[in-house]
């Protein structure tokens, strides 16, 4: 386990570094995007007004600098306001996006007992639980600090996994909290949302609203100018999406392997972790959950050749656990039992008969 411990330490350090880089670099990225957009807009307007003439790039770059001075503070200010709002209200935002609701120990004593044993073994404060009313099998952790850490489970995973499998899933999510994966993912989700929002705002302002002063001074009755603006607005949306995608892929998929390893270390039950992954496989999609939240889950399967996968394949994760621990891969147990159609209509599950010590 020494190699695993070293890997976890390095991973935590990298997460701290990436979080700082996102926080420090994002305002600069926004300013550069504003400058690039204004430079491109001026060049396109020159081309539409003076057909056949070469573009004066010095003038275009000057317009880009003017755009940064005029619109850069608005972009950075909007980003800061968005981040402050997200910092204080991220719990409500995540609940609204996932449909999760808080549950207490009295309502679901089993999951709290499982978590309590894991936290005691590591001397950790206990996160709270939230539950999503969905028959899907999935889970994720959320929060920015000890006061806001939460583990979110679907009702399907609570009902359909055995106690040792559910304990392994909870340990997996607790490891994400220990490794600071959760904080990095929350920051990435917030920044991805900012990029998408600003790209949409730029598009709407170009099509329907206010345009830069230096553009209005070059207004042309030529319809080609309007088409050029529409194309540039579309390009802004595409660039915003690509930046959001790039941020998503800066998050290493290694985090899931390390969380699996951490779960095995906490529970001392690699077979339970492998069985849990087998049951989750192909049953992870929560209807209506945004992709940015789905990427935080224990599984986020993609059917299109895994091209946009944020998680390694479950089969590979199971084989890795097997090789790491020397435990044979368990034979999958087929179960036709399905989760209830409307889980909350049945109320909370009955209290456990035994208290896990």
Q: Where are the alpha helices (DSSP H) in the chain?
A: 2-49, 57-98, 109-122, 155-160, 163-178, 181-208, 213-216, 223-249, 254-267, 270-280, 291-294, 314-325
Angle between helices 109-122 and 163-178 (to 10 degrees): 50
Active-site residue among 165, 173, 256, 299? 173
Question: How crowded is residue 70: how many other Cβ atoms within 10 Å of its Cβ?
Answer: 14
Place of tokens 């994760």: 317
Question: How crowded is residue 222: how many other Cβ atoms within 10 Å of its Cβ?
Answer: 12
Integer Cα distance of 276 and 267 in angstroms = 13
End-to-end CA distance of the chain: 25
Integer Cα distance of 158 and 271 in angstroms = 18
173 is catalytic: yes
Catalytic machinery residues: 173
């Amino acid at each position: 386990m020494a190699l695993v411990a070293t890997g976890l330490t390095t991973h935590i350090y990298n997460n701290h570094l990436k979080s700082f880089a996102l926080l420090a670099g994002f305002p600069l990225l926004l300013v550069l995007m504003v400058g690039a957009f204004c430079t491109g807009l001026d060049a396109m307007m020159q081309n539409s007004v003076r057909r056949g003439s070469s573009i004066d790039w010095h003038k275009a770059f000057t317009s880009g600098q003017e755009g940064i001075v005029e619109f850069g503070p608005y972009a950075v200010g909007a980003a800061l306001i968005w981040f402050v709002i997200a910092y204080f209200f991220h719990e409500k935002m995540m609940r609204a996006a996932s449909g999760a609701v808080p549950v207490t120990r009295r309502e679901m004593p089993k999951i709290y007992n499982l978590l309590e044993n894991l936290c005691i073994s590591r001397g950790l404060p206990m996160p709270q639980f939230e539950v999503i009313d969905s028959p899907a099998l999935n889970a994720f952790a959320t929060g920015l600090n000890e006061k806001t850490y939460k583990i979110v489970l679907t009702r399907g995973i609570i009902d359909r996994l055995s106690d040792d499998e559910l304990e392994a899933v909870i340990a997996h999510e607790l490891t994400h909290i220990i490794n600071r994966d959760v904080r990095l993912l929350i920051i990435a989700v917030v920044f991805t949302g900012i990029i998408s929002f600003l790209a949409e705002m730029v598009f709407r302002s170009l099509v329907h609203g206010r345009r830069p002063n230096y553009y209005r001074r070059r207004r042309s009755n030529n319809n080609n100018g309007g088409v050029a603006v529409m194309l540039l607005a579309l390009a802004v949306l595409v660039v915003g999406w690509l930046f959001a995608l790039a941020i998503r892929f800066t998050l290493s998929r290694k985090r899931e392997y390390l969380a699996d390893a951490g779960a095995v270390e906490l529970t001392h039950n690699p077979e339970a972790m492998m069985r849990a992954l087998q049951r989750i496989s192909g049953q992870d999609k929560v209807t209506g959950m945004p992709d940015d939240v789905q990427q935080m889950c224990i599984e986020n399967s993609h059917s299109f050749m895994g091209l946009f996968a944020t998680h390694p394949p479950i089969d590979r994760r199971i084989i890795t656990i097997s090789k790491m621990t020397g435990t044979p891969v368990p034979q999958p147990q087929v179960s036709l039992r399905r989760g209830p159609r409307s889980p909350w209509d049945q109320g909370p599950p009955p209290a456990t008969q035994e208290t896990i010590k």
